[in-house]
Amino acid sequence: MKVVMTPNPYRDKNFKYAAQAEQILRGAGVETRLCLPFGVDKNFELPADRTFYNLSEELRNADMLICFGGDGTILHSSKAATYHNIPVLGVNIGTMGFMAELEAGELSQLARLASGQYTVEKSMMLSVEVQHDGQTVYTDTALNDIAVTKGAVARVIQLEVLCDGVQAYSFAGDGVLVCTPTGSTAYSMSAGGPIVEPEASNLIITPICAHGMYAKSYVLSDHRV
């Protein structure tokens, strides 16, 4: 088994927790590779006694990605892991750890990975495509949410939301969020959206400061939306 570890260098000072995890995993017979989840500031000094490998190359034949940090680190790393179709395990050493499965004091549990004593939970992700004049100008994937918002000018924007080609909302406001169940506890919740069970198969549409919102309900498979 091969595990790629991506500690947030700004959270895991001197890579203390990554080193502990590496010792536990290698003691259980697991091959490990240490990679940075993102580029660091040029003035940030990395320890000279640590070897960092290229994340994209190491993920090609990895079995799991372990992130050390907060939810932001997990969100950042989830895109690369999804591209290579491998599961992500979060270890919380940040301030926000809703998405992490383990806390920093539970690293001994990592030894269970070698014997397959774990389950994989599937989470929805969003595929995003932006079109302009009939051309696709941007594509991306997101684990939490996407936001369509107004620019720097202090004014509301007119928005129309269609589901399967049918208008669901028409309103003026600051924007609209489309989020997954995983993202329901993030920006969407702050904007008044519902909290949804993480393994549900739903998309949540949350208007941001809507004014004069009009909704059209329609029936799909005998369920009113």
Query: Two tokens at 214?
Result: 């009009």
| Max CA distance (Å), the chain | 62
Cα 159 from Cα 207, distance rounded (Å): 9
What per-residue string of b and e applies to 132-155 under the rule 16 or more CB within 10 Å gives b?
eeeeeeeeeebbbbbbeeeeeeee
* Amino acid, res. 60: R
Handedness of CA 102, 103, 107, 109 (dihedral sign): negative
Query: Two tokens at 126?
Result: 């969003």
Question: Which residues have a catalytic role annotated?
Answer: 71
